[in-house]
């Protein structure tokens, strides 16, 4: 029976992996080493600022093992969502590391570079033609927000990776990509079932997070054949179980049976999970259902100002009991006391120990829940400039520190500060302006490719 083996070294490039696990994976003679290098999970800042959320030293450490291993064994190495967010600066950052390692190690290989930034004019033209739609719960796009957008990336599917490999590239360094695509592309190119390949990619994208105990810093091997696939860990400290693999299939998904992606939907209604050894799980029955038109997810961000924060603790039960009213009164006093404050601005309070995690979605009613003995407070100020944000944050902090709430006995401060200075400058703030689907006739049209002969 025809098979294809895929080695996933780590959940995200830069998260690391044990040498022993990687060496065991290489002893299995994989057909592909694939690694996801990014995500939109850390929020819009990294896309807007053009920086990586992973450490350069950590990414260099990982690539310094992956590149020589792939080249020495003649194995393709595919990297998706380079630099974390997959925009042009993120791609250039990753390419710089790849070229440094190649020069240091004396490596020669053909590399494909696949770009993922999307021109704003194209998005506007597709919007005008009715080919741009929000991905729920995102709102409809507005011309003003698109006009303010500083960077847009498209989430490429498997097709650009297939095109790159068919062009003879052994190493593919790509911008923003659908997470499973980097793992599934070679399999689909070689004739394996697309649904099975994408489901395998869905599990391998986070490596041993799909194992028990889970870890994003350990390797996993997937073996695909004509009727299904098997996933297994490469460390004796972990094992794949039916529960861990099935649970990871539901990771980051709102529908347990339909997983949409570029060009179609992965249908899991007939999927089965079966333990075939103490360390391996067999998966069968997953199907890919193509949709028309071909749709690609866009991620775009715009700048909304600058942020300053202050972190404090509150332990007075009287203040905790009237905290909502006190915070509202403090906010009103601060805004009234800063008549020159420019729009747009925002002043908010995150109360940890009450609803700091869930916010307005918190199902526990603070009016009926037992009062916590202490809470953590984050004062969050955003304004058009860093100086204005600093002023807004400082005013809120000092006002609340000395605010005379009903029932107050002590005249000392209301807040306990774990740090000095108490206020932190968080810099520029970005918000998603596009979290949309765009109709495209050509799956590779938004993703231009360049070939490069890398040599020391």
Token pair listed for 134: 């929000």
Nearest to 254 by CA among 383, 428, 114, 136: 136
Q: What is the pLDDT of residues 395-416, one digit of tens each?
A: 999 999 999 999 998 888 899 9
Match 């899991």 to its residue by tokens.
Answer: 268
The pLDDT, as a whole number, for residue 307 is 98
Helices (H), 167-193: 181-189
pLDDT of residue 391: 97
How confident is the model over 135-189, as pLDDT tens digits?
988 899 899 999 999 999 999 999 999 999 999 999 999 999 999 999 999 999 9
CATH of 303-433, one of 3.30.70, 1.10.12, 1.10.8, 1.10.10: 3.30.70
Query: How many CA atoms are closer than 13 Å to the CA of 299, on its beta-carbon side?
Result: 25
A 10 A CB-CB count for 317 gives 12
Distance from chain centroid for Cα 19: 25
Residues 372-381 pLDDT 10s: 999 999 999 9
Asked if residue 253 has pLDDT above 90, the reply is no
Q: What is the DSSP letter of 129?
A: T
99-120 pLDDT, tens digit each: 999 999 999 999 999 999 999 9
pLDDT of residue 266: 96
Locate the domains of the chain by residue range: 4-116+155-294+440-454, 303-433
* pLDDT of amino acid 412: 80
Q: Is the pLDDT reported for residue 1 higher than 90?
A: no
Model confidence, pTM:
0.94
Whole-number Å distance between alpha carbons of 427 and 423: 12
pLDDT at position 368 is 83
């Amino acid at each position: 029976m025809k098979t294809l083996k895929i080695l996933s070294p780590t959940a995200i490039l830069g998260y690391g992996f044990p040498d022993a696990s990687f060496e065991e994976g290489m002893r299995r003679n994989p057909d592909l080493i694939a690694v996801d290098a990014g995500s939109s999970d850390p929020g819009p800042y990294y896309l807007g600022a053009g920086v990586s959320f992973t450490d350069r030293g950590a990414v260099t450490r990982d690539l310094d093992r992956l590149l020589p291993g792939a080249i020495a064994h003649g194995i393709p190495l595919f990297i998706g969502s380079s630099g974390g967010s997959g925009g042009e600066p993120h791609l250039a950052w990753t390419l710089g590391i790849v070229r440094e390692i190649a020069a240091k190690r004396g490596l020669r290989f053909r590399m494909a570079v696949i770009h993922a930034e999307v021109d704003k004019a194209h998005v506007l033209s597709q919007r005008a033609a009715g080919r741009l739609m929000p991905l729920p719960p995102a709102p409809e796009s507005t011309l003003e927000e698109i006009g303010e957008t500083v960077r847009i990336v498209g989430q490429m599917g498997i097709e650009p990776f297939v095109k790159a490999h068919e062009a003879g590239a052994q190493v593919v360094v790509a911008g923003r990509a659908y997470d499973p695509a980097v793992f599934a592309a070679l399999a689909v190119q070689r004739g394996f079932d697309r649904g099975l390949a994408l489901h395998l990619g869905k599990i391998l994208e986070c490596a041993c997070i799909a194992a028990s105990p889970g870890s994003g810093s350990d390797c996993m091997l997937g073996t695909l054949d004509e009727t299904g696939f098997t996933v297994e860990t490469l460390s004796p400290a972990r094992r794949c179980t039916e529960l861990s693999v099935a649970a990871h299939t539901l990771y980051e998904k709102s529908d347990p049976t339909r997983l949409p992606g570029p060009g179609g939907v992965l249908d899991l209604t007939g999927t089965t999970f079966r333990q075939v050894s103490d360390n391996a799980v067999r998966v069968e029955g997953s199907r890919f259902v193509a949709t028309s038109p071909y749709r690609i997810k866009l991620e775009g961000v715009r700048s909304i100002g600058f942020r300053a924060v202050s972190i404090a603790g509150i332990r007075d039960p009287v203040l905790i009991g009237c905290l909502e009213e006190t915070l509202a009164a403090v906010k009103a006093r601060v805004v009234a006391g800063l008549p020159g404050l420019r729009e747009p601005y925002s002043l908010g309070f995150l109360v940890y120990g009450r609803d700091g995690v869930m916010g307005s979605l918190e199902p526990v009613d603070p009016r009926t829940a037992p009062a916590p003995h202490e809470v953590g407070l984050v004062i969050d100020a955003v304004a058009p400039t860093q100086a204005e944000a600093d002023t807004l944050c400082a005013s809120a902090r000092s006002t609340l520190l000395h605010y005379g709430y009903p029932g107050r006995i002590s005249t000392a401060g209301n807040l306990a500060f774990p740090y000095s200075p108490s206020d932190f400058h968080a810099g520029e703030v970005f918000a998603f302006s596009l979290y949309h689907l765009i109709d495209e006739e050509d799956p590779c049209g938004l993703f231009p490719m360049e070939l490069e002969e890398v040599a020391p």
